[in-house]
Structure 1
Protein backbone atom coordinates (compact mmCIF):
# COMPACT_ATOMS: atom_id res chain seq x y z
CA UNK A 1 0.00 0.00 0.00
CA UNK A 2 1.33 3.43 -0.93
CA UNK A 3 -0.18 6.62 0.42
CA UNK A 4 0.13 9.60 -1.92
CA UNK A 5 0.17 13.19 -0.71
CA UNK A 6 -0.62 14.62 -4.13
CA UNK A 7 2.69 16.40 -4.53
CA UNK A 8 5.17 13.63 -5.28
CA UNK A 9 5.62 12.11 -1.82
CA UNK A 10 4.58 8.77 -0.48
CA UNK A 11 4.33 7.55 3.07
CA UNK A 12 5.96 4.33 4.16
CA UNK A 13 3.60 1.48 4.88
CA UNK A 14 3.71 -0.03 8.37
CA UNK A 15 5.90 -2.92 7.18
CA UNK A 16 8.25 -0.51 5.46
CA UNK A 17 8.28 1.71 8.55
CA UNK A 18 10.16 -0.83 10.64
CA UNK A 19 12.80 -1.18 7.94
CA UNK A 20 12.96 2.60 7.38
CA UNK A 21 13.84 3.22 11.01
CA UNK A 22 16.97 1.13 10.49
CA UNK A 23 18.11 2.73 7.25
CA UNK A 24 16.31 6.04 6.71
CA UNK A 25 18.43 9.10 6.19
CA UNK A 26 16.39 12.26 6.57
CA UNK A 27 17.69 14.46 3.75
CA UNK A 28 15.22 17.30 4.26
CA UNK A 29 12.31 18.50 6.33
CA UNK A 30 9.21 19.84 4.58
CA UNK A 31 6.57 21.96 6.30
CA UNK A 32 3.16 22.51 4.71
CA UNK A 33 1.67 25.32 6.78
CA UNK A 34 -1.79 25.19 5.17
CA UNK A 35 -2.41 21.67 6.50
CA UNK A 36 -0.33 22.05 9.69
CA UNK A 37 2.01 19.17 8.84
CA UNK A 38 5.75 18.59 8.95
CA UNK A 39 7.33 15.75 6.99
CA UNK A 40 10.75 14.17 7.52
CA UNK A 41 11.82 13.06 4.05
CA UNK A 42 14.23 10.47 2.66
CA UNK A 43 14.07 11.12 -1.06
CA UNK A 44 10.38 10.84 -1.97
CA UNK A 45 9.51 8.75 1.10
CA UNK A 46 7.89 10.30 4.16
CA UNK A 47 9.84 8.86 7.10
CA UNK A 48 7.74 10.69 9.71
CA UNK A 49 4.76 13.04 9.65
CA UNK A 50 3.89 15.39 12.51
CA UNK A 51 0.88 17.57 13.30
CA UNK A 52 2.27 21.04 14.03
CA UNK A 53 1.23 24.30 15.64
CA UNK A 54 2.48 27.52 14.03
CA UNK A 55 2.70 31.21 14.77
CA UNK A 56 -0.55 32.91 15.78
CA UNK A 57 -0.75 34.59 12.33
CA UNK A 58 0.40 31.72 10.13
CA UNK A 59 -0.60 32.90 6.65
CA UNK A 60 2.17 34.56 4.67
CA UNK A 61 5.92 34.90 5.06
CA UNK A 62 7.46 36.40 8.19
CA UNK A 63 8.24 40.05 7.49
CA UNK A 64 9.28 41.49 10.83
CA UNK A 65 9.84 40.78 14.48
CA UNK A 66 6.59 40.43 16.38
CA UNK A 67 4.32 39.63 13.41
CA UNK A 68 3.65 36.10 14.79
CA UNK A 69 4.26 34.55 11.37
CA UNK A 70 6.20 31.40 10.62
CA UNK A 71 8.71 32.15 7.82
CA UNK A 72 8.42 30.56 4.38
CA UNK A 73 11.30 29.47 2.18
CA UNK A 74 14.43 27.34 2.36
CA UNK A 75 16.40 27.38 5.59
CA UNK A 76 18.64 25.01 7.54
CA UNK A 77 18.34 23.36 10.93
CA UNK A 78 21.56 24.70 12.40
CA UNK A 79 21.73 23.78 16.10
CA UNK A 80 19.88 22.09 18.97
CA UNK A 81 19.03 23.82 22.26
CA UNK A 82 18.25 21.76 25.35
CA UNK A 83 18.08 24.79 27.65
CA UNK A 84 15.30 27.02 26.33
CA UNK A 85 11.85 28.00 27.62
CA UNK A 86 10.53 25.01 25.67
CA UNK A 87 11.17 21.30 25.88
CA UNK A 88 14.14 21.02 23.52
CA UNK A 89 14.37 22.96 20.31
CA UNK A 90 16.10 22.88 16.95
CA UNK A 91 16.97 26.30 15.53
CA UNK A 92 15.94 27.32 12.00
CA UNK A 93 18.42 29.58 10.15
CA UNK A 94 15.90 32.43 9.71
CA UNK A 95 16.59 35.21 8.79
CA UNK A 96 18.64 34.54 5.67
CA UNK A 97 20.21 37.33 3.60
CA UNK A 98 17.05 37.82 1.54
CA UNK A 99 14.95 38.18 4.71
CA UNK A 100 17.42 40.67 6.18
CA UNK A 101 17.47 42.74 2.99
CA UNK A 102 13.66 42.79 2.80
CA UNK A 103 13.37 43.91 6.42
CA UNK A 104 16.06 46.57 5.93
CA UNK A 105 14.21 47.96 2.90
CA UNK A 106 11.08 48.24 5.07
CA UNK A 107 12.98 49.78 7.98
CA UNK A 108 12.08 46.95 10.37
CA UNK A 109 13.85 44.14 12.24
CA UNK A 110 13.35 40.73 10.59
CA UNK A 111 13.19 39.03 13.97
CA UNK A 112 14.80 35.69 14.59
CA UNK A 113 15.07 32.89 17.13
CA UNK A 114 12.70 30.73 15.04
CA UNK A 115 12.78 27.08 16.06
CA UNK A 116 11.05 23.75 15.97
CA UNK A 117 10.30 23.04 19.62
CA UNK A 118 8.28 21.00 22.07
CA UNK A 119 5.79 22.30 24.59
CA UNK A 120 6.53 25.23 26.88
CA UNK A 121 8.33 24.06 30.00
CA UNK A 122 5.81 23.39 32.75
CA UNK A 123 2.82 23.19 30.37
CA UNK A 124 0.61 20.47 31.83
CA UNK A 125 -2.11 20.51 29.17
CA UNK A 126 -2.53 17.44 26.96
CA UNK A 127 -0.21 17.59 23.93
CA UNK A 128 -3.16 16.86 21.62
CA UNK A 129 -4.92 19.98 22.93
CA UNK A 130 -1.86 22.19 22.53
CA UNK A 131 -1.44 20.95 18.94
CA UNK A 132 -5.05 21.80 18.08
CA UNK A 133 -4.44 25.54 17.56
CA UNK A 134 -1.66 27.96 16.49
CA UNK A 135 -0.02 29.46 19.57
CA UNK A 136 3.66 30.21 18.90
CA UNK A 137 5.27 33.56 18.06
CA UNK A 138 6.45 32.16 14.71
CA UNK A 139 8.03 28.85 15.66
CA UNK A 140 6.89 25.35 14.73
CA UNK A 141 5.68 23.32 17.72
CA UNK A 142 5.38 19.56 18.09
CA UNK A 143 4.92 17.35 21.16
CA UNK A 144 7.84 16.64 23.50
CA UNK A 145 7.91 12.98 22.45
CA UNK A 146 8.00 14.02 18.79
CA UNK A 147 10.77 16.52 19.56
CA UNK A 148 12.92 13.72 20.99
CA UNK A 149 12.31 11.68 17.85
CA UNK A 150 13.07 14.64 15.57
CA UNK A 151 16.40 15.32 17.27
CA UNK A 152 17.35 11.64 16.93
CA UNK A 153 16.45 11.45 13.21
CA UNK A 154 17.48 14.87 11.82
CA UNK A 155 21.10 15.96 11.58
CA UNK A 156 22.33 19.50 12.05
CA UNK A 157 22.63 21.16 8.63
CA UNK A 158 19.53 19.47 7.19
CA UNK A 159 17.53 21.80 4.91
CA UNK A 160 13.97 22.71 5.86
CA UNK A 161 11.47 23.92 3.26
CA UNK A 162 8.53 25.85 4.67
CA UNK A 163 5.58 26.53 2.35
CA UNK A 164 1.97 27.57 2.68
Structure 2
Protein backbone atom coordinates (compact mmCIF):
# COMPACT_ATOMS: atom_id res chain seq x y z
CA UNK A 1 0.00 0.00 0.00
CA UNK A 2 2.79 2.41 0.91
CA UNK A 3 4.47 1.92 -2.48
CA UNK A 4 1.19 2.50 -4.29
CA UNK A 5 0.63 5.79 -2.42
CA UNK A 6 4.17 6.97 -3.17
CA UNK A 7 3.73 6.34 -6.87
CA UNK A 8 0.39 8.09 -6.88
CA UNK A 9 1.87 11.09 -5.13
CA UNK A 10 4.75 11.16 -7.58
CA UNK A 11 2.40 11.10 -10.56
CA UNK A 12 0.26 13.82 -8.99
CA UNK A 13 3.34 15.99 -8.33
CA UNK A 14 4.64 15.60 -11.90
CA UNK A 15 1.20 16.44 -13.26
CA UNK A 16 0.99 19.52 -11.05
CA UNK A 17 4.40 20.77 -12.23
CA UNK A 18 3.41 20.19 -15.87
CA UNK A 19 0.15 22.10 -15.47
CA UNK A 20 1.94 24.94 -13.64
CA UNK A 21 4.45 25.19 -16.48
CA UNK A 22 1.65 25.33 -19.02
CA UNK A 23 -0.12 28.04 -17.03
CA UNK A 24 3.08 30.05 -16.75
CA UNK A 25 3.73 29.78 -20.49
CA UNK A 26 0.15 30.79 -21.24
CA UNK A 27 0.41 33.87 -19.01
CA UNK A 28 3.81 34.98 -20.39
CA UNK A 29 3.56 38.06 -22.61
CA UNK A 30 5.35 38.54 -25.92
CA UNK A 31 7.39 41.61 -26.82
CA UNK A 32 4.60 42.76 -29.14
CA UNK A 33 1.99 42.35 -26.41
CA UNK A 34 4.06 44.61 -24.14
CA UNK A 35 4.36 47.14 -26.96
CA UNK A 36 0.58 47.02 -27.37
CA UNK A 37 0.16 47.40 -23.60
CA UNK A 38 2.49 50.37 -23.09
CA UNK A 39 2.95 51.77 -26.59
CA UNK A 40 0.26 54.46 -26.58
CA UNK A 41 1.37 55.90 -23.24
CA UNK A 42 5.02 55.82 -24.29
CA UNK A 43 4.24 57.61 -27.54
CA UNK A 44 2.29 60.29 -25.68
CA UNK A 45 5.23 60.89 -23.33
CA UNK A 46 8.01 60.66 -25.93
CA UNK A 47 6.62 62.46 -28.98
CA UNK A 48 7.08 65.94 -27.43
CA UNK A 49 10.74 65.11 -26.71
CA UNK A 50 11.28 63.89 -30.26
CA UNK A 51 9.54 66.96 -31.69
CA UNK A 52 11.71 69.26 -29.57
CA UNK A 53 14.80 67.49 -30.94
CA UNK A 54 13.56 67.92 -34.53
CA UNK A 55 12.84 64.22 -34.94
CA UNK A 56 9.83 62.07 -35.71
CA UNK A 57 8.76 59.19 -33.48
CA UNK A 58 9.71 56.33 -33.50
CA UNK A 59 13.40 56.53 -34.35
CA UNK A 60 15.31 54.58 -36.98
CA UNK A 61 18.40 54.47 -34.73
CA UNK A 62 18.95 54.78 -30.99
CA UNK A 63 21.97 55.15 -28.75
CA UNK A 64 21.95 54.79 -24.97
CA UNK A 65 24.87 56.56 -23.30
CA UNK A 66 25.31 55.49 -19.68
CA UNK A 67 27.45 57.70 -17.42
CA UNK A 68 28.26 55.59 -14.39
CA UNK A 69 29.63 58.26 -12.05
CA UNK A 70 26.54 60.50 -12.15
CA UNK A 71 24.05 57.65 -12.73
CA UNK A 72 22.61 59.13 -15.90
CA UNK A 73 21.40 57.63 -19.18
CA UNK A 74 21.20 59.79 -22.31
CA UNK A 75 18.83 58.78 -25.09
CA UNK A 76 20.03 59.80 -28.56
CA UNK A 77 18.06 59.15 -31.73
CA UNK A 78 18.17 59.51 -35.50
CA UNK A 79 15.51 59.23 -38.17
CA UNK A 80 17.81 57.53 -40.67
CA UNK A 81 19.73 54.27 -40.36
CA UNK A 82 22.72 55.81 -42.16
CA UNK A 83 25.68 56.29 -39.83
CA UNK A 84 26.35 59.60 -41.61
CA UNK A 85 23.10 61.06 -40.22
CA UNK A 86 23.69 63.11 -37.05
CA UNK A 87 22.17 61.79 -33.83
CA UNK A 88 20.28 64.13 -31.52
CA UNK A 89 19.78 64.10 -27.78
CA UNK A 90 16.13 63.33 -27.02
CA UNK A 91 15.93 62.77 -23.27
CA UNK A 92 18.10 62.30 -20.19
CA UNK A 93 17.13 59.80 -17.50
CA UNK A 94 18.26 59.41 -13.91
CA UNK A 95 19.44 55.87 -13.21
CA UNK A 96 17.73 54.63 -10.04
CA UNK A 97 20.45 52.14 -9.11
CA UNK A 98 23.74 50.84 -10.53
CA UNK A 99 26.39 49.11 -8.45
CA UNK A 100 30.17 49.28 -8.75
CA UNK A 101 32.69 52.00 -9.55
CA UNK A 102 34.82 53.13 -12.51
CA UNK A 103 36.51 50.28 -14.34
CA UNK A 104 35.37 47.35 -16.51
CA UNK A 105 33.54 44.25 -15.40
CA UNK A 106 35.98 41.35 -15.05
CA UNK A 107 34.17 38.46 -13.42
CA UNK A 108 30.88 37.15 -12.14
CA UNK A 109 29.97 38.63 -8.79
CA UNK A 110 32.19 41.73 -8.93
CA UNK A 111 29.03 43.89 -9.04
CA UNK A 112 30.51 46.05 -11.79
CA UNK A 113 28.52 47.64 -14.59
CA UNK A 114 30.62 46.89 -17.71
CA UNK A 115 32.40 49.62 -19.68
CA UNK A 116 32.73 49.76 -23.45
CA UNK A 117 30.69 49.75 -26.64
CA UNK A 118 27.84 47.27 -26.62
CA UNK A 119 24.60 46.32 -28.33
CA UNK A 120 21.16 45.25 -27.13
CA UNK A 121 21.00 41.49 -27.49
CA UNK A 122 17.34 40.87 -26.70
CA UNK A 123 14.24 42.17 -24.92
CA UNK A 124 12.58 40.41 -21.99
CA UNK A 125 8.86 41.19 -21.70
CA UNK A 126 8.51 39.03 -18.56
CA UNK A 127 11.38 40.27 -16.44
CA UNK A 128 11.30 40.06 -12.64
CA UNK A 129 12.23 43.74 -12.85
CA UNK A 130 9.18 44.77 -14.89
CA UNK A 131 10.78 44.93 -18.38
CA UNK A 132 14.39 44.52 -19.40
CA UNK A 133 16.82 45.02 -22.26
CA UNK A 134 19.76 42.62 -22.31
CA UNK A 135 23.21 44.05 -23.06
CA UNK A 136 25.61 41.78 -24.99
CA UNK A 137 28.23 41.54 -22.26
CA UNK A 138 30.68 39.87 -22.53
CA UNK A 139 31.31 41.04 -26.07
CA UNK A 140 34.17 40.06 -28.40
CA UNK A 141 36.61 42.49 -26.74
CA UNK A 142 35.75 41.23 -23.23
CA UNK A 143 36.23 37.59 -24.22
CA UNK A 144 39.54 38.27 -25.94
CA UNK A 145 40.98 40.02 -22.87
CA UNK A 146 39.75 37.20 -20.65
CA UNK A 147 41.47 34.59 -22.83
CA UNK A 148 44.72 36.55 -22.68
CA UNK A 149 44.53 36.71 -18.88
CA UNK A 150 43.12 33.19 -18.47
CA UNK A 151 40.08 34.52 -16.70
CA UNK A 152 36.88 32.47 -16.58
CA UNK A 153 33.39 33.11 -15.20
CA UNK A 154 33.05 36.56 -16.75
CA UNK A 155 29.45 36.91 -15.61
CA UNK A 156 26.56 38.04 -17.75
CA UNK A 157 22.86 38.86 -17.62
CA UNK A 158 23.60 42.59 -17.68
CA UNK A 159 20.31 44.37 -18.16
CA UNK A 160 18.75 47.78 -18.44
CA UNK A 161 15.56 47.17 -16.47
CA UNK A 162 12.82 48.56 -14.30
CA UNK A 163 12.55 48.79 -10.50
CA UNK A 164 15.26 50.48 -8.43
CA UNK A 165 17.69 47.73 -7.38
CA UNK A 166 20.86 46.60 -9.15
CA UNK A 167 23.79 44.21 -8.85
CA UNK A 168 25.78 45.06 -11.96
CA UNK A 169 22.70 46.04 -13.96
CA UNK A 170 21.18 49.45 -14.75
CA UNK A 171 17.89 50.00 -12.92
CA UNK A 172 15.78 52.75 -14.48
CA UNK A 173 12.45 52.57 -12.66
CA UNK A 174 9.35 51.13 -14.32
CA UNK A 175 8.19 54.11 -16.39
CA UNK A 176 11.61 54.70 -17.94
CA UNK A 177 11.99 50.95 -18.58
CA UNK A 178 8.67 50.99 -20.45
CA UNK A 179 9.89 53.86 -22.64
CA UNK A 180 13.24 52.27 -23.43
CA UNK A 181 11.70 48.84 -24.00
CA UNK A 182 8.96 50.06 -26.36
CA UNK A 183 11.34 52.30 -28.32
CA UNK A 184 13.86 49.46 -28.60
CA UNK A 185 11.17 47.11 -29.90
CA UNK A 186 9.94 49.64 -32.45
CA UNK A 187 13.42 50.64 -33.62
CA UNK A 188 14.80 47.09 -33.64
CA UNK A 189 17.63 45.91 -31.43
CA UNK A 190 20.04 45.75 -34.39
CA UNK A 191 19.74 49.54 -34.69
CA UNK A 192 20.69 50.29 -31.08
CA UNK A 193 24.10 51.15 -29.69
CA UNK A 194 25.00 51.24 -26.00
CA UNK A 195 27.98 53.22 -24.69
CA UNK A 196 28.79 52.33 -21.09
CA UNK A 197 31.13 55.04 -19.79
CA UNK A 198 32.85 55.58 -16.41
CA UNK A 199 32.04 59.29 -16.70
CA UNK A 200 31.36 61.86 -19.41
CA UNK A 201 34.54 61.45 -21.44
CA UNK A 202 33.43 64.30 -23.71
CA UNK A 203 34.13 66.78 -20.93
CA UNK A 204 36.62 64.73 -18.89
CA UNK A 205 39.03 63.91 -21.70
CA UNK A 206 41.94 63.34 -19.32
CA UNK A 207 40.07 60.86 -17.12
CA UNK A 208 42.38 57.97 -16.22
CA UNK A 209 41.44 54.38 -15.40
CA UNK A 210 41.52 53.41 -11.71
CA UNK A 211 44.95 52.11 -10.67
CA UNK A 212 43.36 48.71 -9.94
CA UNK A 213 41.99 48.37 -13.50
CA UNK A 214 43.76 46.29 -16.17
CA UNK A 215 46.11 48.15 -18.51
CA UNK A 216 43.80 47.60 -21.48
CA UNK A 217 41.12 49.74 -19.79
CA UNK A 218 42.81 52.72 -21.45
CA UNK A 219 41.92 51.18 -24.83
CA UNK A 220 38.25 51.04 -23.81
CA UNK A 221 38.32 54.70 -22.84
CA UNK A 222 40.04 55.65 -26.10
CA UNK A 223 37.37 53.81 -28.09
CA UNK A 224 34.59 55.40 -26.06
CA UNK A 225 36.03 58.88 -26.60
CA UNK A 226 36.07 58.28 -30.35
CA UNK A 227 32.50 56.97 -30.30
CA UNK A 228 31.29 59.92 -28.23
CA UNK A 229 32.47 62.33 -30.95
CA UNK A 230 29.14 61.62 -32.66
CA UNK A 231 27.15 62.72 -29.60
CA UNK A 232 27.96 66.36 -28.91
Pair in the same fold by TM > 0.5:
yes
Correspondence for 1:32: 67
Q: In the TM superposition, what is the alpha-carbon distance from 1:26 to its structure 2 partner? A: 3.9
Partners of 2:126 and 2:70 in 1: how far apart? Answer: 30
TM-score (norm 1): 0.73
Quick one: structure 1 residues 140 and 14, their matched pair in 2 at CA, closer, same or farther if it must change by over 3 Å? closer
Correspondence for 2:108: 65
Report which structure shows greater RCO (CA 8 Å, sep ≥6).
Answer: 1
Q: Is the Cα contact below 8 Å between 2:118 and 2:135 reproduced in 1?
A: yes
Partners of 1:23 and 1:153 in 2: how far apart? Answer: 7
Correspondence for 1:4: none
Q: Does 1:91 align with 2:124?
A: no
Any residues of structure 2 matched to 1:1-164 within 5 Å, and which?
16-17=51-52, 20=55, 22=57, 24-42=59-77, 43-104=86-147, 105-119=149-163, 130=164, 135-154=165-184, 155-157=188-190, 158-164=192-198
Q: Would you tell me which structure has more strand in proportion to its own residues?
A: 1
Q: CA deviation digits over 1:118-164, x for unaligned, max 9?
A: 01xxxxxxxxxx4xxxx411111101111111122223121101111
TM-score (norm 2): 0.53
Aligned partner of residue 90 in structure 2, secondary structure: strand
Which structure would you say has the larger Rg? 2
Structure 2 gap ranges (5+): 1-47, 78-85, 199-232
Give the CA RMSD over aligned residues.
2.4
Q: In the TM superposition, what is the alpha-carbon distance from 1:25 to its structure 2 partner? A: 3.9
Q: In the TM superposition, what is the alpha-carbon distance from 1:55 to its structure 2 partner? A: 3.6
Aligned pairs, number: 138
